[in-house]
């Protein structure tokens, strides 16, 4: 708990140089000055859930920008860590029921998981894109309940969490896809996973993504690039600048996926979330340099932190585990610094 509070303190007093921060701080300022929630929601075109959260947060903290924007980060962090703990325990219990998985014993370490979480998700969705962060965390909770099976109560709770996620970001409608994958997917041969990894590496090294970025998806999908005309369509923009360089984000995830391939003897829980991870990674390799697709891909790779944590739990040698853990921390720090120093 202390580690979480320290992390949230860092989030609250971060410099205003990360993407979207000026945008969100202007929102808090507007809410504080106008005290008109319906007008704020309509003019700034925020989802109603986030508009209410910022409005009442601003009221609670007297218009303090830092403390108000700490609320979404706190919600994201606590929800994500709580359901990661639940998924980890579910994974352990299934391993203990004799499904053929030799799991390393040990409890869930909040500090260790928090350091892994700080990688892509903890940085991007607590420092930068806050609306999508809450939406993804709620979707994560909904997917946890779908892992419990097809019981009516689990299905109902899963639907409720996914519906709540839509109140914070409309792109969460894409969450129906990973939800269905979790419900219906089955284990695949390891050769298929290795083939997917080779495809990711080839697509990345050969820079084939630049041909995807060159597509005018706005015209193909009938969407407008004008934010005043189409809020969702504004995400589908061509980004020739991204096409001219290698993406560190994609490279980061290719390395992580390679590590996850080494995890032996997956049980049913692990297989379901790893199938989702594989599809998300393939989509990232193809569409990862497009603004809209990058956001959509994040709904499919949201299990990355817990998968890495599970993978590290499989390593019995303490020195090797510490070395890999340090390597992931180095990658996390590099990604965070690149994100802040834009």
User: In angstroms, how far is CA 81 from the centroid of its own chain?
Assistant: 12
Does 290 map to a domain? Answer: yes
Give the mean pLDDT of the chain.
76
Does 171 map to a domain? Answer: yes
The SS3 of residue 244 is coil
Say yes or no to pLDDT of 229 above 60. Answer: no
Does 165 map to a domain? Answer: yes
pLDDT tier for residue 228 given thresholds of 50, 70 and 90: very low
254-302: pLDDT as tens digits: 988 998 898 765 688 888 999 999 999 998 888 776 766 666 788 888 8
How many Å from the N-terminal Cα to the C-terminal Cα in the chain?
31
Token pair of 33, please?
Answer: 């000055």
Does 135 map to a domain? Answer: yes
Rounding to the nearest 10 degrees, give the CA dihedral for residues 276, 257, 304, 161: -10
Say yes or no to pLDDT of 250 above 60. Answer: yes
Strand ranges (E), 115-254: none
Does 233 map to a domain? Answer: no
pLDDT at position 208, please?
A: 80
Does 144 map to a domain? Answer: yes
Does 49 map to a domain? Answer: yes
Say yes or no to pLDDT of 160 above 80. Answer: yes
pLDDT at position 139, please?
A: 93
201-227: pLDDT as tens digits: 998 888 887 777 666 555 555 544 454
pLDDT at position 224, please?
A: 47
Does 253 map to a domain? Answer: yes
Scored b (16 or more CB within 10 A) or e, 270-298 reads bebbbbbbbbbbbbbbbbbbbbbbbbbbb
Q: Which domain holds residue 35?
A: 6-207+246-340
Number of domains in the chain: 1
């Amino acid at each position: 708990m202390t580690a979480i509070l320290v992390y949230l303190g860092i989030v609250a007093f971060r410099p205003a140089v990360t993407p979207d921060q000026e945008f969100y701080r202007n929102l808090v300022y507007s809410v504080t000055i106008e005290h008109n929630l319906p007008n704020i929601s309509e003019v700034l075109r925020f989802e109603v859930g986030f508009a209410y959260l910022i409005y009442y947060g601003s009221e609670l903290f007297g218009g303090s920008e830092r403390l108000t924007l700490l609320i979404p980060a706190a919600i994201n962090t606590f929800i994500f860590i709580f359901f990661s703990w639940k998924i980890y325990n579910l994974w352990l219990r299934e391993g203990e029921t004799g499904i053929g998985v030799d799991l390393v014993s040990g409890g869930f370490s909040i500090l260790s998981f928090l350091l892994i979480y700080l990688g892509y998700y903890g940085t991007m969705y607590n420092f930068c894109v806050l609306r999508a962060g809450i939406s993804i965390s709620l979707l994560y909770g909904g997917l946890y309940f779908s892992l419990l099976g097809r019981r009516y109560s689990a299905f109902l709770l899963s639907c409720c969490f996914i519906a709540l996620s839509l109140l914070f970001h409309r792109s969460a409608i894409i969450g129906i896809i990973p939800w269905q994958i979790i419900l219906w997917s089955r284990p695949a041969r390891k050769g298929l996973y290795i083939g997917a990894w080779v495809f990711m590496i080839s697509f990345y090294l050969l820079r084939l993504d630049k041909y995807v970025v060159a597509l005018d998806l706005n015209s193909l999908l009938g969407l407008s690039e004008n934010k005043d005309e189409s809020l969702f369509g504004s995400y589908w923009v061509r980004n020739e600048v991204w096409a001219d360089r290698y993406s560190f984000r994609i490279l980061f995830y290719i390395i992580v996926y390679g590590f996850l391939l080494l995890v032996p003897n997956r049980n049913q829980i692990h297989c379901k979330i790893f199938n989702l991870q594989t599809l998300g990674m393939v989509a990232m390799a193809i569409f990862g340099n497009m603004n809209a697709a990058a956001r959509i891909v994040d709904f499919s790779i949201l299990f990355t932190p817990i998968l890495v944590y599970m993978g590290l739990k499989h390593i019995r040698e303490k020195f090797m585990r510490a070395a890999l853990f340090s390597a992931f921390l180095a990658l996390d720090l590099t990604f965070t610094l690149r994100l802040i120093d834009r």
